[in-house]
Amino acid sequence: MNPTEIIEQFRIAVRDPFGTARTIREGQNRPVVGYTCTYFPEEIVLAAGAHPFRLFGKSTVMLKTDAHIQAYGCSLARAVFEDALSGELDFLDVMAFPHSCDTMQRLSDIWRLNIKNTVHLDLLFPVHLKSEAAQDYMEAVLERFRKGMEQVFQVDISKDAMQNAISLMNRIRASLTALYKLRAAHSASISGSDLSHVVQGAMILDRLEVADKLEALVSALKGTHTPTRTAPAKRVLLSGSVCLHPDIHTIIEEQGGAVAWDDLCTGSRYFDVQVPEDLPPIPAIAKRFLNRAICPAKHGGTTRRGGDLLKLISTHRIDGVIFLFLKFCDPHGFDYPDLKTALETAGIPTLFLEVETGKPVDGPTRTRVETFLQILNQREAAL
């Protein structure tokens, strides 16, 4: 299969996630476990013989959610719930809510009270990831979830099954990292929009298929060097929560820039850091969660996110950062001003964009991105 064909399969999954999940459920006779956040142990679901399925919120018109969540809830939470209320998610056997922000926490309650045909599970992960007590507690929460999966699906999850699932997810994470690196080196002909679809699709499609396809994609792309551009593109980092707006990439690319890296939870935060394969499975998964790139809804020290961001900037030689947030998102909203100051002190220009899922990038936003890229380009000329 050539790269274009592989990428197209990921694109199809993103366009029709529910159809994709139904096919897996019916075709492979595997139960589906929905989840909402990258702090989710997909390995345990896989080891239980089920399919982990990330929800991104497909609905664009809120007909039923308005009766449950106020309009000042973020569009992700509202869209995901609209999907549920309108029956689009009736293929889910289990709905799992890893603890993240206040909005998701309440969505879990509201979901439990209103959606009756799925098994409901909460994963009450620690918020403070740096305390000594957090490691043990994280493991206990994972262990409870493992038992929960056993109970719901009436299976015994063997250690081998866990180890296999960990290897499988590590393969996916390794390939996604490789793709990002190829992309960052500008040596692969994969557009930012394509890559964004690939990461999202990886959270939707059957994971074994994903692992195989990604490996094929990496080796196919490794051979294809794009002709060297005359002027090296401006390297942008996208920072924020979920990005369901692949057209942002296109706008950036149209201006001669490229997204060289991101810290999105529909991006690098999904595959950052491997699960160590030489540890017992549960402590190993816990370890990854404690060490991977942190989400602003968690605490890993007061300067952790700023430090991580600056590290990414220097590793990937970033010229400018675009913050991409969902309106009404508290965790990101609180981090933004200090991050912006830290970056500007380091001489990195930033742009702030507020978007809503299900709404296309509007004219003014497009203009702002274009202007930002023009400024980055001029900066080069002035230096």
Partner 1 sequence: MKKHKTSGKPAYYMESVPKMKKIMRNYYLKAKYARYLGKKVAWITSGGPVEPLIAMGIIPVYPENHGAMIGVSHTGVELCEVAEGMGYSGDLCSYARADIGASETGGGPIGGLPKPDMLICCNNICGTVLKWYEIQARKFQVPLFILDTPFVHTEFTKEAKTYVDRQVKDYIRFLETAMKKKFPYDKMNVVGKRSVEAMRLWQQVLNTATAKPAPFTAFDAFFHLALIVTLRGTKTVLRYYRFLLDELNQRVEKGIGMVENEQYRFLWDNLPIWHRMRWLSRAFAARNAALVADTYTSAWCGTVDNIDENDFLGSMGEAYTRIYLNIGVDQMAEKVLNMIDKYDVDGLVMHSNRSCKPYSFGQYDIQRIVQRERGLPVLILESDMVDARKFSEGQVETRIDAFMEMVGQK
Q: Quick check: 282 binds ligand SF4 (CB under 6 A)?
A: no
**Contact set for ligand SF4, span 329-358 (CB under 6 A):** 329-332
Q: Quick check: 84 binds ligand SF4 (CB under 6 A)?
A: no
Q: What is the distance between the alpha carbons of residues 215 and 172, in angstroms, rounded to a whole number?
A: 8
Q: Quick check: 241 binds ligand SF4 (CB under 6 A)?
A: yes
Q: What is the distance between the alpha carbons of residues 34 and 204, in angstroms, rounded to a whole number?
A: 10
Element (H, E) at 291: helix 281-291
Applying CB under 8 A, among 186, 327, 366, 368 the residue interacting with partner 1 is 327
257 versus 296: smaller Cβ distance to partner 1: 296
C-alpha pair distances (Å), 85 with each of 16, 59, 111, 153:
18, 10, 9, 24
Counting residues that bind partner 1 (by CB under 8 A) gives: 51
How many CA atoms lie less than 13 Å away from 276 in the CB half-sphere? 13
**Contact set for partner 1, span 114-153 (CB under 8 A):** 114, 122, 124, 126-128, 131-134, 136-137, 140-141, 144
Residue 272's binding partner out of partner 1, ligand SF4, none, with CB under 5 to 8 Å set by partner kind: none
**Given strand 32-35, what is the order of strands in its sheet?**
51-54, 32-35, 94-98, 119-123
Q: Quick check: 326 binds ligand SF4 (CB under 6 A)?
A: yes
**Contact set for ligand SF4, span 89-128 (CB under 6 A):** 100-101, 103-104
| 8 A C-beta contact, residue 85 and residue 109 | no
Residue 150: how many other CB atoms lie within 10 Å: 15
Element (H, E) at 352: strand 350-355
**Contact set for partner 1, span 42-101 (CB under 8 A):** 67-70, 72-73, 99, 101
Residue 288's binding partner out of partner 1, ligand SF4, none, with CB under 5 to 8 Å set by partner kind: none
Dihedral angle sign, alpha carbons of residues 144, 149, 150, 151: positive
73 versus 257: smaller Cβ distance to ligand SF4: 73
Could you tell me the smallest distance in angstroms from the CB atom of residue 75 to ligand SF4?
8
Residue 76's binding partner out of partner 1, ligand SF4, none, with CB under 5 to 8 Å set by partner kind: ligand SF4
Q: What is the distance between the alpha carbons of residues 348 and 106, in angstroms, rounded to a whole number?
A: 37
With both helix axes pointing from N to C terminus, report the angle between 304-315 and 330-345 in degrees, rounded to the nearest 10.
Answer: 50
**Contact set for partner 1, span 101-120 (CB under 8 A):** 101-103, 105-110, 112-114
Could you tell me the smallest distance in angstroms from the CB atom of residue 76 to ligand SF4?
5
Residue 26's binding partner out of partner 1, ligand SF4, none, with CB under 5 to 8 Å set by partner kind: none
What is the x/- site pattern for partner 1, positions 232-261, by CB under 8 A? ------------------------------
Element (H, E) at 34: strand 32-35
Q: How many residues does the chain have?
A: 383
Nearest to 47 by CA among 204, 190, 167, 222: 167
24 versus 297: smaller Cβ distance to ligand SF4: 297
What is 215-280 written as a DSSP string?
A: HHHHHHHHH-PPPPPSSPPEEEEEEES----THHHHHHHHTTEEEEEE--TTTHHHH-SPPPTTS-
Binding site for partner 1 (CB under 8 A): 67-70, 72-73, 99, 101-103, 105-110, 112-114, 122, 124, 126-128, 131-134, 136-137, 140-141, 144, 296-297, 299, 302-303, 327-328, 330-331, 333-338, 340, 352, 354
Binding site for ligand SF4 (CB under 6 A): 74, 76-77, 100-101, 103-104, 241, 297, 326, 329-332
